[in-house]
């Protein structure tokens, strides 16, 4: 089944404790992206990747890192999480051109205490 | 920098009534434009998209949107709303080229409530 998977789905952590949210797609898509969703602010793009080893900043990259060593995986790294990073995170992917339909993962709800 | 504004945070309509959700964008050239829908507790689903050509685009679930360059708008419409259309709707603009190619900016969202 074609899908985007994220792990974990729910995470409670404490300030400063490094964490990684994994994202994997099995559709051989070139484009992958991370978003955070906060009430009243909609979705905001954190980072995106047009291809392996190519990543670019979205609108809210501060406090986040990403890597794209393989086409299928695009992990989101929070080196030192802070409470303002408490949010719902979505990973998405799309085929060769990014403007094609994006397939979204189920979301990861993160709480930073 | 690209940006999107959805002026209406919350809209309520009666079932069977027509619907128009507003979206205004800012971008230096012709952008890529999208409408997504998110049902409660769900991920996002693409309703329709505009890249070029005919300014009136048709999407899934009976939705359509019209690109108006002079007004920098991409409003979403549906002639007759069904109760199942209750959801949150997001407009998005994407860079069509240049150094920001691949960057996608969403609006704040419009929550649609449908009364029976």
Q: Residue A94's closest chain B neighbor by CA?
A: B102
Q: Is the pLDDT of residue B99 over 80?
A: no
Confidence band for B59, pLDDT divided at 50, 70 and 90: very high
Does B10 contact A at CB distance below 8 Å?
no
- Whether residue B40 lies within 8 A of chain A, CB to CB, comes out as no
The mean predicted confidence, pLDDT, of chain B is 93
Task: Give the tens place of pLDDT for each residue, B13-29.
Answer: 999 999 999 999 998 87
**pLDDT score for A98:** 67
How is chain B classified by DSSP, letter by letter? Answer: --EEE---SEEEEETTS-EEE--EEE-SS--EEEEEEE-TT--EEEEEEE-SS-SEEE-GGG-EEEEEGGGTEEEEEESS--GGG-EEEEEEEE--SGGGTT-EEE---EEEEEE-
**pLDDT tens digit sequence for A52-100:** 999 999 999 999 999 999 999 999 999 999 999 999 999 999 986 666 7
């Amino acid at each position: 089944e074609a899908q985007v998977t994220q792990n974990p789905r729910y995470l409670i952590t404490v300030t400063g404790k490094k964490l990684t949210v994994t994202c994997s797609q099995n559709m051989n898509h070139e484009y992958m992206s991370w978003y955070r969703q906060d009430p009243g602010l909609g979705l905001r793009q954190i980072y995106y990747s047009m291809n392996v080893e190519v990543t670019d900043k979205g609108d809210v990259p501060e406090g986040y890192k990403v890597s794209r060593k393989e086409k299928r995986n695009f992990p989101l790294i929070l080196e030192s999480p802070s409470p303002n990073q408490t949010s719902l995170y979505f990973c998405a992917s799309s085929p060769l051109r990014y403007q094609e339909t994006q397939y979204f993962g189920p979301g990861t709800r993160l709480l930073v205490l | 920098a690209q940006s999107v504004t959805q002026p209406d945070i919350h809209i309520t309509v009666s079932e069977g009534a027509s619907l128009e959700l507003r979206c205004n964008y800012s971008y230096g050239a012709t952008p890529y434009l999208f409408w997504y829908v998110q049902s409660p507790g769900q991920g996002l689903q693409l309703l329709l998209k505009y890249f070029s050509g005919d300014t009136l685009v048709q999407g899934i679930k009976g939705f359509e949107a019209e690109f108006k360059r002079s007004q920098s708008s991409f409003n979403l419409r549906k002639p007759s709303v069904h109760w199942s259309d209750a959801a949150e709707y997001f407009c998005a603009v994407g860079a069509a080229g240049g150094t920001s190619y691949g960057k996608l900016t969403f609006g704040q969202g419009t929550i649609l409530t449908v009364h029976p």
